[in-house]
Chain A
Amino acid sequence: MTASSADVVIVGSGPVGAAAAHGLVEAGVDVLMLEAGTRPEPDRFAVMERALLGRIPWTFPPYPYEWHGDDVDLNEFAIRKLGGSSLAWGGITPRYQASDFELRTRYGVGEDWPLTYAELEPFYCRAERFLGISGAQDNPWASPRSEPFPMPSFPMNDSDLLVRDAAKRLGIRIHSVPTARNSIPYDGRSACCFYSTCRACPIGALYSSDRTVARLERRPNFRLLLQSEAVRIEIGGGGAALRVVYVDAAGNEHAVSGRRVILAVQPVETARLLLVSRSSRFPDGLANGNGMVGRYFLEHPKFYMIGKVAQCLHPYRQGFETATSYQFHDHPRRDEYAGGRLLVRECAGPSVPQIAAASGRWGLELRKEIADVFGRYVTLGAFLEQLPEPDNRIGLSSAGRTRSGAPVARIDFRLSGEYERRGFSELRRVMEGIFDALGAEEVRVLVPPTNSGHYMGGHRMGRNPETSVTDGHLETHEVKNLYLAGGGAFPTSGVNNPTLTSVALAFRMVDHMLGRTA
């Protein structure tokens, strides 16, 4: 086994790992980053062509895992490549609301976060500048902000405007949603040209962290090791994290030691890594003396409804969501049923190539069918809040093994309980009302409640070391110098896409490491 060292070792090159690395490298800290995958394909246009067909455009070896419970996909956004989830994300970046940080205090359900919205707010601003967020301050339910968005928002599309006007007649307010894509050239990256294939933005208008890492690679105090898969963390005599052991592409084991270690991978892998890192001091897994590692795994149950309308709404010209409503999120009966974020999809109904690929026609008949089917749909969707449950957990499989021989993750998970099912019914009723107001036909649930690819919980933060894995600065209670970043730290799910908040927490963690915060 060969060994090297750095001040800080970061495992994972997704947006959270990249943000942490950025903050530390800027402060002159020596950083070494481990990434299990390779660099993404340089020909982003070829990737875009795959995305035009609605396929997952990247090819990568998926995380193996053993599943018990509701059948959901854990690999959709857990991309094993430089850039991680940011290679396939939608770039929707709303802030959590103040109430999301105090769910237990305000409603008596779920859990409070160990920090308030006000404490995180300056880091939200930094995260928005870092990712490059376009947005407008037209959300009446948004919590106060101290800075304007770095860029103006994108205009609403035909579908948004149609839904907005229909919803207005029902007293529902539709407003813009912030996104991590450039509405104007920003940070040396392109402005969005509406290629409409955001999961493979060919021009870098959508933030992806591989570009951040590429910039960091020019810095003398940053090193990147690709195809280096962390397999366990070893501790020293004092109980502090000391070495990250990883295997290279050939399967050879190496180790890198660091004064601090940050795990910035998705929650399933973080929990698995901790659980396999057993020692005499931590017989149940690293930082798991209280048995909390892997517990309270969370997702956002999402569903979509679709209806046919008379006019063509010219979809697939933008590719991303530009309208939403928080009216049904922080509702007065949030203790009884889940709130949800209502959204309007721009890519509604099948695209031109999707129609062609699913039709049994050809020639002029197919052309006529495409013109007839395309664009006459409205799709509404919702992300619901999921309550944390201790039995929704990540453990170790007794059967499956990784390439290095370690147990794969075992997931025990139920997406919906009564709380979430009632939330689904309420939001469905709201959507049906909007479809009625639109005069839509053939209204149906397009995607029944399923997961969103928003992996949260599993190493939740909290003030109480008995019921949480890390403190509010993401440092584990039991192993000082070991930090667990990412959505896995969230004690509750809220209804927002988690990346912006994860990045804001990462910047707060970095400030803590640098001694800049209390």
Chain B
Amino acid sequence: MNQSLSSRLRAFLEPAVARAAPTGVLSDAEHRTVHALFEALTGDDQYPPALLRRHVERRTAEDGGYLEECRAGLALLRRAMEREWLAGEFVDLTHGERDRVLRRILRSYPHEEKNAWWRRRLRLTSENLDLVAGRLWRRAVRRFRVVVVRDLLEHYYTGPSGWAVVGYREFPGRVRSESEPCKVLGFRIEGDSVVLELSDSTYETLDPRNLELDEGGALVVTTKSSRQRAGFSHAAQHAIGELLQEDEHGGLSLMIGSVRHEVFRDGE
């Protein structure tokens, strides 16, 4: 109703994901294959497997159809390996072999900005041709590309490693929140909440469950929706100490207004 003709056409041609399909989790072996696929797609073999696993687990557990598409993609990989006369598992292949398998499945083509202007004008871009082919006779391959491959690429290129490709090693945002040291400089109390003042000049409301003592006994807090751990400046630690109470067993709790919140030790 409120979409342009081209976007409507695109929505018609693009393979639909079965949103009602069951959610779940991949096996460890499947996760290893997905990681190997991810390495082939990104050209990065240093990416932490745990980060990728967290992302994939979230998708398979929350987004109907993704688990099914993932498994269908892994089956495509297996079939392509057979056609290439490659034995064993995808994870055991060399980088060159993995790329060869991918080329067996996917046609490699450039971004539309690299197509000639007349092709862009006539909308005869490589992407659009792949879209049409995916509708007519390469449905499984198009689904693999659109649902699984692009999701993995998007995961990588929305993050710091991806932006580093264009030299944004200090790209603000996730890089800043995940890799720069951050400190609590102060705080203020608003009603039943404590608002933290952080060293990157941001403020956020403290979730007392994120407050803990590290191995050295210093107070630390995870900030940015659990994406970054922050220590306290001396002044902030002294100030928040006024709100801390110790019980007879040495346990600490934070009193905000009349509410007591337990402070855990690292690893508890």
Residues of A within 8 A of B (CB): 42-46, 48-49, 52-53, 65-67, 71-75, 184-185, 188-191, 193-197, 202-205, 218, 312, 317, 349-350, 352-353, 355-367, 369-375, 442
| CB closest chain-B residue, reference A411 | B2
- Cβ-defined contact, B162 with A190, below 8 A: no
Q: Which of B71-79, B84-92, B172-180, B232-240 contacts A (4 or more CB under 8 A)?
A: B172-180
Interface bracket on B: 35 or more
Nearest chain B CB to A210 CB, angstrom units:
13
CB distance from A57 to the nearest CB of B (A): 12
Residues in chain B near residue A362, CB distance under 8 A: 40-43, 102, 106, 108, 149, 153
* Chain B 1-32 interface mask (CB, 8 Å, partner A; 1/0): 11110000000000000000000000000000
A360→B108 contact, CB < 8 A = yes
B165 touches A361 (CB 8 A): no
- Contact residues of B with A, CB < 8 Å? 1-4, 40-43, 99, 102, 106-114, 117, 126-127, 130, 145, 149-150, 153-154, 156-158, 162-163, 165-166, 168, 171-174, 176-177, 188, 190-191, 195, 197, 200-204, 224-225, 227
The answer to whether A360 and B109 touch (CB under 8 A), given A45-B227, A53-B154, A197-B173, is: yes
Contact B153 A195 (CB under 8 A): no
Given contacts A195-B173, A360-B126, A360-B127, contact A185 B203 (CB under 8 A): yes
Give the chain A neighbours of B1 by CB distance below 8 A.
65-67
Q: Which residue of B lies closest to A375 (CB)?
A: B166
**Given A218-B191, A364-B43, residue A353 in contact with residue B109 (CB < 8 A):** no
Using known A-B contacts A366-B43, A366-B153, determine if residue A67 contacts B173 with beta carbons closer than 8 Å.
no
**A195 CA to B202 CA, complexed, in Å:** 12
Nearest chain B residue, comparing its CB with the CB of A62: B2
Q: Which of A312, A356, A363 is the one whose CB lies under 8 Å from B162?
A: A356
* Nearest chain A CB to B173 CB, angstrom units: 4
Can you report 30 A-B residue pairs in the complex whose CB atoms are below 8 A from each other?
Answer: A44-B225, A45-B225, A46-B225, A52-B158, A185-B201, A188-B190, A189-B203, A193-B173, A196-B173, A202-B225, A204-B203, A204-B204, A205-B202, A352-B162, A352-B166, A353-B157, A356-B154, A356-B162, A358-B127, A360-B111, A361-B110, A363-B40, A363-B41, A363-B43, A366-B41, A369-B111, A369-B114, A370-B165, A371-B165, A372-B114
- Asked if residues B130 and A367 are in contact (CB atoms below 8 Å), the reply is no
B-side contacts of A370, CB under 8 Å:
157, 165-166
Nearest CB on A from B141, distance (A)? 11
Tell me whether B113 and A350 are in contact (CB under 8 A): yes
